[in-house]
Structure 1
Amino acid sequence: MYMDEGRRAAEAGDWVAAGHAFVRAAMEGSAEDAELATRVTVELVPLADGGSAEAAALLAGIYLEYFNESALPVAARYARAAAEAGLPAGQRTYGHMLVTGLGVEEDRERALELFQAAAEGGDTYGMFNLAQLVDDPDESLRLLKSAARGGIVTAGAVLADRLSALDRDEEALGWYVWAAERGHTGAMNAAACWYRDGFGTKPDPVQAVRWFFVMLAHGDGNGIHEAIQMVKAGVVNEEQIREAGRLAGDSGAAEALIGAVLGGERA
């Protein structure tokens, strides 16, 4: 979808929109779009040099993500220009470079100011980054919630970790599930383990195995070993495994688990 969107934008001469589309496609795992994102820099440079803050912020992000360290000075120059123009994406990107010392001298105080400005401008990544730096725990939680609700899935997982540390386990589990439903494998594992062990809820072996199955579907096989141990320990039965498979949308995984662990017992 994003590839087609990017190509249409490129054909129309809207290189900023094309670059954004190619980057979004690359983030979903398209090597071809990563290549297109690097190529579009040729068209973005004149726009950025001509004063387009959006082109400058986009360029900085592409240089940081898809080029080697030799591109860091150029990335810093464009990120700084976008930040000084007041663009939230530029403020967030340049703030990230400052807080990590990536291509520039580390300046945590300035980074905090930039993240604050980006967050106030509605930038969800700015909110997420600011949440990592503020000293007020309540403010950090508020920012993480805003970032998560703005679509930053990792923010939901981090929020769950913070709530867990505060012993607000029921809320934490809710956010682990929220992030798990949106593809965060670490949150899937946390949700599975919490359902298994009864953190933030009563033990629920069906939900535990469900999320271990979903982890497997996302390429993380660690959880299936936990599911096997649950079956061997008699924590979950055949009917529950099938229900977990149904909830995970993977009946095949359920039958494979039943066959691998319970098949020998039947024989």
Structure 2
Amino acid sequence: MELDEGRRAAEAGDWVGAGHAFVRAAMDGSAEGAELAARVTVELEPLADGGSAEAAALLAGIYLEYFDASALPRAVRHARAAAEAGLPAGQRTYGHILATGLGVEKDEARAAGLFRAAAEGGDAYAMFNLAQLVDDPDESLRLFEAAAREGIVAAGAVLGDRLSALDRDEDALGWYVWAAGRGHTGAMNAAARWYRDGFGTTPDPVQAVRWFFVMFAHGDGDGIHEAIELVKAGALDEGQIREAGRLAGAPEAAEALIDTVLGGSRD
């Protein structure tokens, strides 16, 4: 869908819209999206040089993500221009460059100021970045939650970690489940293990195996051994395994687990 949206925007001469659509496609794993995002830089350069802060910020991100180190000076130049124009996306991108020392002298204090300005402008990624730099733990938690509620899934997973460190296990589990439900495999693993071991809740082997199944569906098989061990230990019967598969949207995984562990013991 993003690729089609990008092509339509390109046909209409909306190169900024096209670039954003191609980047979204690339972020979803499309190799063609990454290729088209790189190609559209030819059209974005004159826009950025003509004063378009949005084109400059978009160019900086594309150069950082889809080009080699030779494009770094261009990324720095465009990010700085977009930041100086007051565009939140530019402030966030230039803040990232300063925070990591990409082609410039590392300056976390200045980066934090840019992240804060971008966050105040509503940039969710800037909220996430700022949360990792501020010294105030309460402010950090507020920023992680704000970023998560704006759709930054990784922020929810990190929030779970931070709340866990504060022994707020029930809240932590809630955020792990939130992030797991949005595709974060690390949060899936945390949720599965916490349900298995009873952190933040009473032990719930059905929910544990559910999230192990979801992990596997996302290409991470690290939890399958734990699921097998739960079944071997008698923590779930066939009906509960099937319920875990139903909740995970993976009934075939449930049947495979039943056949693997219980196949020889039924009847």
TM-score band by shorter chain is over 0.9
Offset at residue 237 of structure 1 (A): 1.6
Counterparts of 1:33-182 in structure 2, within 5 Å, are: 33-182=33-182
Structure 2 gaps of 5+ residues are: none
Query: C-alpha separation between the residues in 2 aligned to 1:133 and 1:29?
Result: 29
| Aligned counterpart, 1:226 | 226
Query: C-alpha separation between the residues in 1 aligned to 2:102 and 2:262?
Result: 53
Alignment RMSD (CA, Å): 0.8
Deviations 1:18-56 (Å, cap 9, x if unpaired)? Answer: 000000001001111110000000000000000000000
How many residues end up aligned between the 2 structures? 267
Give 2:201's aligned amino acid: T
| Aligned counterpart, 2:6 | 6
| Aligned counterpart, 1:266 | 266
Give 2:229's aligned amino acid: Q
Query: C-alpha separation between the residues in 1 aligned to 2:230 and 2:103?
Result: 48
Query: C-alpha separation between the residues in 1 aligned to 2:264 and 2:77?
Result: 64
More moved, 235-244 vs 121-130? 235-244
User: Secondary structure at the residue paired with 1:266?
Assistant: coil
User: Secondary structure at the residue paired with 2:62?
Assistant: helix
Query: C-alpha separation between the residues in 2 aligned to 1:261 and 1:72?
Result: 53
Offset at residue 208 of structure 1 (A): 0.3
Offset at residue 265 of structure 1 (A): 2.2
| Aligned counterpart, 1:239 | 239
Query: C-alpha separation between the residues in 2 aligned to 1:71 and 1:105?
Result: 17
Deviations 1:160-214 (Å, cap 9, x if unpaired)? Answer: 1000000000000000000000000000000000000000000000000000000
Runs of 4+ with >4 A deviation: none
Query: C-alpha separation between the residues in 2 aligned to 1:188 and 1:109?
Result: 34
Query: C-alpha separation between the residues in 2 aligned to 1:230 and 1:104?
Result: 51
Deviations 1:47-83 (Å, cap 9, x if unpaired)? Answer: 0000000000000000000001111111001000000
Structure 1 gaps of 5+ residues are: none
User: Secondary structure at the residue paired with 2:231?
Assistant: helix
| Aligned counterpart, 2:17 | 17
Query: C-alpha separation between the residues in 2 aligned to 1:238 and 1:266?
Result: 10
| Aligned counterpart, 1:249 | 249
Offset at residue 264 of structure 1 (A): 2.1
Query: C-alpha separation between the residues in 2 aligned to 1:143 and 1:83?
Result: 21
Offset at residue 248 of structure 1 (A): 0.5
Deviations 1:202-229 (Å, cap 9, x if unpaired)? Answer: 0000000000000000000111111011
TM-score (normalizing by structure 2)? 0.99
Query: C-alpha separation between the residues in 2 aligned to 1:266 and 1:183?
Result: 34
1:203 lines up with 2:203 in the alignment: yes
Query: C-alpha separation between the residues in 1 aligned to 2:226 and 2:97?
Result: 39
User: Secondary structure at the residue paired with 2:264?
Assistant: helix
Query: C-alpha separation between the residues in 2 aligned to 1:203 and 1:88?
Result: 44
Query: C-alpha separation between the residues in 1 aligned to 2:237 and 2:197?
Result: 16
Give 1:217's aligned amino acid: A
Give 1:97's aligned amino acid: I
